[in-house]
């Protein structure tokens, strides 16, 4: 969630040292895709995505606290009630869009409304800025038209248009498995044990 007074998360302090965190929108999208996948060594790949080649402390507490903060930054939305906020928000909310499958539409929407070329913003635009702009896209943009189409109830469509709308829904249907929640993939206990194992391996050479 974007703040007008606070700088978006870009570094984490641990034991009086500062570690840079890469939260560019394209990095976060790669992380979310990784979290949905069944790839091996997810923890190592996630660490590399966000921290690059920095020398990190061999302390599971560092990784657990860091990823809690990263996940909170990624998933926190401005209009959630305090009681509903958690790390279990689905990666693709209600399965209405996919950053991978809808990449063309998202790119075209940013270019159309904001005159922003997302390809030129890779590695630069912070996730919180990207999400604020994404959420502000108008109903006339390609991605919002696709989302509206996917949500359309065919019973509300006039008979003469129903066939065409059904064809469009089939054409734009998401080709996704049921998304995992971030809580499923990076819940506190499994994250802690996974990183503990990773750190023990690292200590052993």
pLDDT tens, position by position, 41-52? 888 899 999 999
Per residue in 167-189, pLDDT tens?
998 999 998 665 444 444 444 44
What are residue 43's phi and psi, to 5 degrees?
-60, -45
Query: Distance (Å, rounded) from C-alpha 73 to C-alpha 183?
Result: 14
87-91, 109-113, 150-154: which has the highest mean pLDDT? 109-113
Q: Where are the domains of the chain?
A: 93-171
pLDDT given for residue 23 in this prediction: 97
Evaluated on CA atoms 108, 106, 152, 128, the torsion sign reads negative
- Choice among 6-20, 82-96, 130-144, 148-162 with the minimum mean pLDDT: 82-96
pTM for the full predicted model: 0.80
Query: What's residue 87's pLDDT?
Result: 35
């Amino acid at each position: 969630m974007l703040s007008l007074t606070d700088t978006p998360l870009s570094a984490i302090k641990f034991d009086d040292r500062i570690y840079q965190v890469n939260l560019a929108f394209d990095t976060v999208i790669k992380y979310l895709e990784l979290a949905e996948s069944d790839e091996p060594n997810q923890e190592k790949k996630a660490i590399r995505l966000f921290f690059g080649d920095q020398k990190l402390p061999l302390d599971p507490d560092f990784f657990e606290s860091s990823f809690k903060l990263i996940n909170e930054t990624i998933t926190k939305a401005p209009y959630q009630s305090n009681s509903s906020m958690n790390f279990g928000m689905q990666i693709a909310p209600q399965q209405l869009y996919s950053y991978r499958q809808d990449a063309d539409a998202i790119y075209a929407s940013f270019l159309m409304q904001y005159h922003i070329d997302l390809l030129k913003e890779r590695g630069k635009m912070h996730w919180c800025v990207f999400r604020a702009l994404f959420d502000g896209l108008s109903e006339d943009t390609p991605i919002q038209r696709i989302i509206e189409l996917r949500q359309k109830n065919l019973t509300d469509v006039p008979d003469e248009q129903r066939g065409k709308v059904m064809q469009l829904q089939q054409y734009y249907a998401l080709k996704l498995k049921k998304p995992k929640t971030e809580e499923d993939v990076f819940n506190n206990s499994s994250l802690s044990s996974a990183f503990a194992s990773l750190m023990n391996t690292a200590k052993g050479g």
